Structure 1
Amino acid sequence: MGVVVPLDEERGRAHNAVAQLQALVAKDMDDVNEFIRERMASDVPMIPELASHLINSGGKRLRPMLTIAAARICGYSGRDHIKLAASVEFLHTATLLHDDVVDESDLRRGKKTARMLWGNQASVLVGDFLLGRAFRLMVETKSLRALEIIANAASVIAEGEVMQLAAAKDTSTTEDAYMRVIQAKTAALFAAAAEVGAVISERNAIEAAALESYGRNLGIAFQLVDDALDYGGRAASLGKNTGDDFREGKITLPVVLAFRRGDATERAFWQRTLQDGDQQDGDLEHATVLMTRHQTIEDTIARARHYGAIAKDALAIFPESAYRTALIDLVDFCISRTY
């Protein structure tokens, strides 16, 4: 039994929002993609083969598009934003390769994960290669501040993954602890991707802080929706198996809320299935029933809308433009998406 999160009308508006942003940054993103293809090249055939499998697997490139749009909203007219956007995508791809190994994931964006095709060792090592490429691109921009921002994000993301690993299967996890994890493992890269757009434009600290806030709150909203969709989405749309978080024992906000709001019998169910890893046929469906009973999916989406509103307000200091409109509408895409 699933919970349908977004309405069809919302999905239509969301699709139009991301299409609008894609159209605005299309020329720059063509250059970003060319940079990515060039910098994936290696004399070791497995490296470009494995990296291409994930990079070309249908992702919307939201993070590098943020860098491009943030630079443009600040009036940037140079070329270094292309290198920074490519470095952001390399960093993101590296984290996905590592995550799939840690999570033992079999599917990503509707395709077998790299680890299923090439093995865990190759996935980790190619992820390291992409991290190296990302930092090399950042150095080429000669912007020490941009390098500092993205390097710090890489460190924070790793901390977030370790925090998530430490909290795995722990049903006593609080909402505050959960929020610290997603602010680190997801929101940090969104924030960095947006902030470096202002930094490379040499704009003032107020605009840089506004874009950092926009990216960070957009990232939080994005992850909240992602966690809700694991129980209420559709596998074909999500590009992964619904219920993967449940099967892997991940403690996400829908689980945190259901555990807190449930009675002793319900808490015992969560402890058996997630904490003890004793899962039986029908347990995923029962988990969804409990979430429906306590409205945890709806409340997770409501929290996403809250952070989305903060993201939109952060852009209010910028004058009206097609880029500002597209970035504001992108928030609706992230909240209303089904993929």
Structure 2
Amino acid sequence: MLRDARRFAESDACLDALLASRPDHADAHLARAVSRLVRGDLRAGWEEFEWRPRRLPAPPWAGEPLDGRRILLHAEQGFGDTIQFARYAPLVTRAGGRVILDMHPLQFRLLRSLGPEIQVLVRGPAPAPHDLHCPLMSLPRAFGTDLTSIPAPPAYLAAEADEVARWGRRIAEIETGKGSGPRVGLVWAGNPNHRNDRNRSIPVERLAPLLDTPGLRLFSLQTGDAKAARPAALPDLTAGIRDFADSAAILANLDLVIAVDTATIHLAGALGMPAWLLLPYAPDWRWLLDRADSPWYPSLRLFRQPHPGDWDSVLRAVATDLERFAAAQFAPQKQS
């Protein structure tokens, strides 16, 4: 609570006192990791983050020379985390490892776009043979990542060309009669089981300032339970999605994504497409504090609550910039 209120000195004092009496309290170390990471103290945060539980018996990799050994990189948390830290897999290859990427089946096709030198496998009951392993979220520590050395190429994943064409045809059928403005996809809610979902998701009725913006072709990218509340003015683009490769192909047909903190925003950033992220006052650690950009994803803009719960200010600011975006996108077409 103190951390989310940005009372960091008091939060640190609580955690330090607990760890002084119980040095092996894993949850306290993880809480201190998050507190350091959100403030940009990445190297100290990665060290504390290593108090996560381990599942594999093989030796963990911590950045030492690989010399051609087989290294299993495996996801351990959400889909967005996997997308964010998959960027390190090519770096492990260049560091001398034979990389095996152990993935959820819904992300298998998408992550094959990392390159042919990386062996992407669907997670099975037992891991593939390997010499070393490293959870994806331990890779920043292995590479000594700080704010000045985040590997952030403009794009490191790609949609499949044939899928882009197939979804492009479907979207063209859906949008008949919607005009010719830029295509904008919206996501307003995350997984309701997420511990911070009550802060990060937006009630759909609060989207009115965006839905009233002229000169746009707006679409819903919302999935899960919140999809049932989709406004009638938002055509649904999610029917028929099989996996994240399909989602990537859909995004490739849009001009902009506006979303709360979900896997969709990570996917847009990894593809290098323009995306606006709507953040609560107490954001997830990876978005840091008080900045309008992300060192992890160059194509993102961040819109933040100025006060806890203040989505109205965020959405008014987004609506204003959205009008400018529509006008700027339309201007070249009008001139030509």
TM-score class normalised by the smaller sequence: under 0.3
TM-score under structure 1 length normalisation:
0.22
Select the structure that is richer in strand.
Answer: 2
Select the structure that is richer in helix.
Answer: 1
TM-score under structure 2 length normalisation:
0.22
**Higher relative CO (CA 8 A, sep ≥ 6), structure 1 or 2?**
1
